[in-house]
Chain A
Amino acid sequence: MSEASMIGLLTAAVSFGALLYLAALGELIAEKAGILNLGVEGMMAMGAVTGFMVALETENAWLALIVAMLVGALFALIHGLFTVVLGAEQVVSGLSLTILGLGMAAFVGKNAVGRPPGAVLAPVDWGFLSDIPWVGPILFTQSPIVYFAILCGAATSFVLTRTRTGLALRGAGESASTVDASGHSVVQLRLGAVAMGGALAGASGAYLTLSLTPQWTEGVTAGRGWIAVALVIFGAWRPGRCAIGAFLFGGLLALKTRLQTFGVDLSPILLSMIPYVLTIGVLIAISIRARNRPSSAPAALGQAYRREER
């Protein structure tokens, strides 16, 4: 295994990791507020297609990213309206959102299939930092969205654990009635969290079509939204642990396409199963540990809050 291919692998691991991390972080925020959103795959697809289309029209990748985030947030708010405001079943609504998102993305992007990108997000120029051996190419030649993802992770961690808003948000996911009684609006908190989650899923999708594989094809998200859902559990609802999981899973994604160049005699098929098997393993581990300690999942996750039923 040559040094160059090893560096290539790790660089791709960071790129893929950031893609998964953005979407997982969004899901984490929503779940922390008590809303399970299984529409990640749909929101990612919508972000991917709008990002690509806006870039085609305006040739401005940054504008495309912003629009993709807005569309992701708006799309997530459909789920928010249904589950938070109307108290509909979260699993059902989330799945419907995925079906709608994938369909709508296919419709919107139909004429963009196979077209060259209008604009791409160029890697950040870090000057001499990029010349450091190993660290330089792996960490300092990445797309700006990678750094954005890491910033978002730090910010989420800070907001959730160190601010009043974060406390209230976590409260909405643990015991909504308590938060309500303390004078916060559960509806506002949860809607905000869901919208934020959608924006990050949209950014993750746009990262695909604006930077990672700059073109649009139907099914470009390829089930990565589901990995994001898994990552939240894998990371025990903590931004930091999610990051570790994301870069680990990102590494597996990167390795899958490179196995042959490394001359490793391992089926790429087995490799692609690992993230899912690991997640089930983590779930089992959580349940064994839960005998002594309370589960790390938000207590009110998936439960609608209706004031009149308190």
Chain B
Amino acid sequence: MKNGSIRRIALALAAPFAAVVFATIASSIFLLIAGSNPFTAYGDMFEYGSRLEIQVDILNRATPLYISGVAAAIGFRMNLFNIGVEGQYRLAAIVAAYVGASVSLPGVLHVGLILVVAMLVGGAYSGVAGVLKVTRGVNEVISTIMLNAIAISGLIAWLVREWQAGGSVDATTSNLGVGTEPIDESGLIPNINSWLEVFTREIGKGKELTGVILVAIVVGILYHILINRTRFGFDLRATGINPFAARAGGVSDKKMVLGAMVLSGVVAGLVGMAEIAKLGRFNPNFVGGLGFAGIAVALLGRNHPGGIAIGALLFAFLDTASGVLQVTGSASREIVFIMQGIILLAAVIAYEVVQRFRIREEARLASALLEGDAQ
């Protein structure tokens, strides 16, 4: 059935491809209405995105996006919607930054400690939603939305003040003074410019390719192994496809819900760690919104480790390369938000259409086989 598998891959790729094409066309219409030339705008973005320094930026942006996408995907695989990655990674980041700055350890241990703290905090916070669902049947979508709000508008806002370096915000100094104490050099993940420079020229403009990219790759491989090669992963997929059958097969749904939720939060914690490794502290430059973007990336990549990577790179390209539009003035930078939204919506539809097509195909095949038997 080699023909069949090629067909399957083609079908799987058709949906996201169609979504991107559709989004590009739709965004062009918006650009035209706004009086910009879409070709100039896209041309500028591609030209800008082809520079090595900008590609480093894209990879740096794609790294946390990818980890965040995997965090969301773990839940999605069993139809568990962890909308709370946003709150989990931010909370993990500030706690990890605080703990990381308050100790001094030799390199590997220091990095390891920050890593573990971030994962623990993320897992613990998502665990709240898991426990609520398992013990009280509280819908995880609603509880994680609430927990996001509690974390962002409450806990973090409070911790930022409590853990402010120097005790209080000094209004006379610039923004640079705001934030937690800086983490010692030993706690930061070094850049891996030299690795990339093997293949290319020297990276200029002080750009640094984050070493967290290696963490992201490990996360991706572990995710692949977990889903496809372990009992837990099998149960996870089974629960996602048919919860009743899985339960009948002896899968404890409570254990699965709690396990998937906590694991998702643990990975979300790594997103926070990635950002802290870049900034060296928790300060106003901390990037928000990676949790929601991660959901988008996971949906786009169909929860597949490779697919999420493509989604993360695409969104990172749009986010980063759109910066040039500010400079050239060929279009309004916000067009990429519209583009991302449309890509996402179009992907939802495209997957639905492909899914139906597939079911109809299978039904036709089955009926053809049955007719064959009858004769």
Contact = CB atoms under 8 A, between A and B. Distances in A.
Q: Does A pair with B?
A: yes
Interface of A: 36, 38, 78, 82, 86-89, 91-93, 95-97, 99-104, 106-107, 110, 223, 226-227, 229-230, 233, 267, 269-270, 272-273, 275-277, 279-280, 283-284, 287-288, 290
A287 B337 contact: no
B352 A87 contact: yes
Interface string B340-365: 11101100110011000000000000
A149 B173 CA distance: 46
A223 B83 contact: no
B137 A269 contact: no
Interface stretch (B145-153, B232-240, B367-375): B145-153
9 contacts: A82-B345, A82-B352, A92-B348, A100-B342, A100-B344, A106-B337, A110-B334, A230-B145, A284-B132
Given A269-B154, A273-B153, A287-B138, A104 B81 contact: no
Nearest to A273: B154
Contact of B138 (A78, A91, A272, A280): A280
A280 B146 contact: yes
Nearest to B293: A99
Given A88-B349, A95-B292, A229-B142, 6 more contacts: A92-B299, A96-B348, A103-B340, A107-B34, A273-B149, A277-B150
Contacts of B188: none
B338 interface: yes
Nearest to B157: A269
A301 to B, nearest CB: 9
A227 B150 CA distance: 11
Contacts of B30: 107
Most chain A CB within 10 A, of B145, B146, B158, B334, is at: B146
Contacts of A288: 136
B260 interface: no
B149 A96 contact: no
Interface in B124-157: 132, 136-139, 141-143, 145-150, 153-155, 157
A104 B341 contact: yes
Contacts of B292: 95, 99
Q: How large is the interface on B (under 10, 10 to 19, 20 to 34, 35 or more residues)?
A: 35 or more
A287 B161 CA distance: 36
Given A99-B344, A230-B142, A233-B142, A86 B154 contact: no
B125 to A, nearest CB: 13
Contacts of A88: 348-349, 352
A279 B158 CA distance: 20
Interface of B: 30, 34, 81, 83, 132, 136-139, 141-143, 145-150, 153-155, 157-158, 161, 292, 295-296, 299, 332, 334-338, 340-342, 344-345, 348-349, 352-353
A123 B282 CA distance: 44
Given A106-B334, A223-B153, A91 B141 contact: yes
Contacts of B81: 91
A300 to B, nearest CB: 14
B345 to A, nearest CB: 5
Contacts of A99: 292, 296, 337, 340-341, 344
Counting chain B CB atoms within 10 Å of each CB, the highest count among A96, A97, A110, A227 belongs to: A96
A276 B149 contact: yes
A284 B149 CA distance: 18
A165 B65 CA distance: 45
Given A106-B334, A107-B332, A280-B138, A229 B145 contact: yes
A290 B161 CA distance: 40
A267 B334 contact: no
Nearest to A87: B352
Contact of A284 (B136, B161, B352): B136
B146 A287 contact: no
A97 B349 CA distance: 13
B352 A272 contact: no
B345 A226 contact: no
A36 B161 CA distance: 37
Contacts of A272: 153-154, 157
Contacts of B338: 100, 103-104, 107
Contact of B83 (A95, A233, A280): A95
